Structure 1
């Protein structure tokens, strides 16, 4: 099978035979069986939709209550900078190697085949579980309005998710485009309403301004007292923020199904980060201005709009429809998250099959380019959502979900390692990095710094369970078992297959770059003038 991968017989990384003809580092299967149906607006808005999820709508209040308004703002800004480094690192590697599975295949080609195997199967396993967990969340959200049997909602969204998954990739892109617009409209509307309320623009509502930054204060001590307690509060916000930003690393998972990936991915990476950072920072600022950190409602978690920090922040404005609007958009957000998990997971499973690390059955595609065999495994896994109907079964189910609780930090670390090794390969082979399809002079440094902090946060994300009186087996599993899982799979595959770290001098950079330069991509057309007033989100 033609592939860009580690070849066991001579430990070399080779390019596919058709590379010189196509200019893309794709296997014959990808080139022949997948269809390029995702345009720039699809990719940009999918990335936005993936990053603005239920974590922002429902869980932001927890960050305010443990870190305080300033601690939360600084925490989200700090993680935003790490996300920026991850996005730019992923963008540089993905524009050179726009392949299915993104950083999973990059790990195979640039770092170590065992790392690609371990990371790939961890993602597949995690996304198998995340889809039913999102559907279970949808049932809880509908419980805000109606007492209809939850099994009806489970079945409805299993069918809807399957219809999207089996359809053309372009239809998936259009659906996610619409769902992303809904999220953005909600966030922008609530930010404006919150600012107007905080600044005294609502009749009969007292101007608050930054009052709550003074009392109860900008920081909240967490676990300990004094400066150390305030720092721990800030650090707990970092961990919450990481999981709020999860999904942004999947921007290039379907690179082989994008039109003009070398033009689309850099734009999406640059612009999506700016939009997401803007929305998150303003959202944290507004909630921190209007709702005091000691408000007991922030620590509650009903799983519906009733305890959403956005609803609490805008309640003073007296708009009774807001809780219902928030609940409706959160339902679409949960469905969108499930759709994106299915897309990412099925494409990773397809890429594992390309490398012979999963059954070849998963290479089968429909005539319109959907890897139906891989998708089917996810549709079947979505029936695990029915476990939510049993109190004992749901406990077991969420234990399984906890196994991949810190997978996002492992994925970010892998993205950064791939980028660092790619830039080292350019230096070892004496090739000018300006020949990369997308190049930034500062990214080698930002990737190194971001990798350091990703590892530190990964190792400390369960720090609370080690403090006096807070030990929890489930908390420890959520925080750390995924690290052991990836390590065991990595070492097991490495020992069984005797894989070696890819030699930097053996990565066929000159061959790949020559093919790209021989067949440059067409420029992406801008949106028609009637759409320019909103197309700034993706153009």
Structure 2
């Protein structure tokens, strides 16, 4: 038996060891060809990544444009639909990641259970998406400073990029600790806003002369406030914003390869996602949509990181509370930097895994003695320099087109995870194995993955519709490709792999699926503490041996 890059046991026979293209045997750590990542993420890190890891500008700022285009009811319903999709996805991912806490996670699952070409396309689309999102988040963090005083944004881009580089020196532990601290700040801020919003709605703020608000802005046609704005188009427009806001939830599965005890920490982390979706997204957006008029002209510029148009900041401004808007703007700055930190983690680990699986340059697979994928980190930090494009007059136009490449990335990843889980379950059953052998089972079962796949397809159709027929405009190429260009990109990657590898198969056949490579041996990782009777019996046996 040999130890693999995932810390798992594989047969010594070479043909079995290479059954999956995602497996490269380990060599001595710290050597030129080491591919072993550090396992430094503790349970508290995993739970905070699940709860607040990607709460950022998508929620705090982007929701403003969705409120203005779709209305408060469309906003809440859209986020609930995407939230249900995420619940199904994360449960499926939890089952796979506990059993196979492999480097690359969902990219590997796509290769093994769907098709190598699809895994390749989805993996690189995901990595490219994070590569491009990083300079956007750094720019967003710089723009938030403009709320207090106008400075040259290039100065703050340099400051924030340098801060991210420093975090990378500490490896996965640095990522985990930063997310833990910043995640707590974000969670406290969202809870505080919800309490504040309830008080405002009840007319409990002395500086707010609106009195009791109720659902006034949901049915106020006289002033242009409606629960649903722009009809079905307005409803469809919410999905892209919601997907961007929820993007990064899947990082829990990607972090499984670097978790100290995935069997214990991953199930807990996946269960926390429900509270994140219901408490930190749906409830906060419901309250925000109640106390902020959706016809407000201030919402027209609620995109990117324009915190002056953030509906959360506007809610505090409209209540007439002094000083608090600056506090919440600081929270948005922290949130954006947290997402930038997640961008770095997501892209570097995915690139390293792709290279390790033979689907990228071998150089990217190298990991140093401290478990850091050095070259992917260098590439990611280099992409961060794209933020300086905003210094040019046409920089924003170039930047927006680059961001279009990431528009549908999350939908493809989430759909791939659900489909991988469905096909895994079929293969597990065909191999005559019982579900009782799984260390963790999705609470929604395989049916949850079917629901997840269905919702992904419906959201892609809705996004296609709103890209083809934009609100307030006629069909045009620029509008369509700015919203849907990620689809042809992933199609090119998929077909390119098929042509280069001369692969004519449609997908991996059920009977050919590898169910053993990458499995973590869990004997050394107890699921939980023994129950009380077992604990007492164990103590009794130890006392007996000690006495007699």
TM-score by length of 1: 0.87
Q: Indicate if the aligned counterparts of 2:37 and 2:372 stay in contact, CA closer than 8 A.
A: yes
Aligned position for 1:487: 491
> How much has 1:421 moved relative to structure 2?
0.8
Structure 1 unaligned regions, length at least 5: 5-11, 18-24, 223-228, 526-539
Matched, 1:215 2:220: yes
Matched, 1:474 2:474: no
1:74-153 equivalences in 2 (<5 Å) = 74-153=77-156
Aligned position for 1:292: 293
Aligned position for 2:543: none
Aligned position for 1:415: 417
Identify the range of structure 1 (427-436 vs 189-198) with the bigger mean alpha-carbon deviation. 427-436
Matched, 1:263 2:264: yes
Q: Distance in 2 between matches of 1:48 and 1:55?
A: 15
Aligned match of 1:395 in 394, 397, 404? 397
> How much has 1:418 moved relative to structure 2?
0.8
2:247 aligns to what SS in structure 1?
coil
Query: What are the Cα deviations for residues 238-275 of structure 1, in whole angstroms up to 9, with x where unaligned?
Result: 33212211111222213221111122111111113322
Q: Distance in 2 between matches of 1:46 and 1:174?
A: 10
RMSD over aligned Cα atoms: 2.6
Identify the range of structure 1 (67-76 vs 467-476) with the bigger mean alpha-carbon deviation. 467-476
Q: Indicate if the aligned counterparts of 2:218 and 2:226 stay in contact, CA closer than 8 A.
A: yes
Aligned position for 1:193: 196
> How much has 1:204 moved relative to structure 2?
5.5
Aligned position for 1:533: none
1:236-315 equivalences in 2 (<5 Å) = 236-301=237-302, 303-315=305-317
Q: Indicate if the aligned counterparts of 1:52 and 1:276 stay in contact, CA closer than 8 A.
A: no
1:502 aligns to what SS in structure 2?
coil
> How much has 1:412 moved relative to structure 2?
0.8
1:248 aligns to what SS in structure 2?
coil
Matched, 1:34 2:37: yes
Q: Indicate if the aligned counterparts of 2:70 and 2:235 stay in contact, CA closer than 8 A.
A: yes
Change (3 A) 1:166 1:448: same
Q: Distance in 2 between matches of 1:286 and 1:218?
A: 15
Aligned position for 1:516: 521
Query: What are the Cα deviations for residues 396-432 of structure 1, in whole angstroms up to 9, with x where unaligned?
Result: 2321221221111111111111111111111222211
Aligned position for 2:540: none
Change (3 A) 1:512 1:301: closer
- Greater C-alpha Rg: 2
Q: Indicate if the aligned counterparts of 2:219 and 2:227 stay in contact, CA closer than 8 A.
A: no
Matched, 1:167 2:173: no
Q: Distance in 1 between matches of 2:274 and 2:17?
A: 32
Change (3 A) 1:267 1:78: same
> How much has 1:3 moved relative to structure 2?
7.3
Change (3 A) 1:397 1:524: farther
1:252 aligns to what SS in structure 2?
helix
Q: Distance in 2 between matches of 1:146 and 1:212?
A: 32
Aligned match of 1:59 in 55, 58, 62? 62
Change (3 A) 1:242 1:347: same
Matched, 1:155 2:168: no
Structure 2 unaligned regions, length at least 5: 7-13, 530-548
Q: Distance in 2 between matches of 1:85 and 1:299?
A: 33
Q: Indicate if the aligned counterparts of 1:3 and 1:354 stay in contact, CA closer than 8 A.
A: no
TM-score by length of 2: 0.86
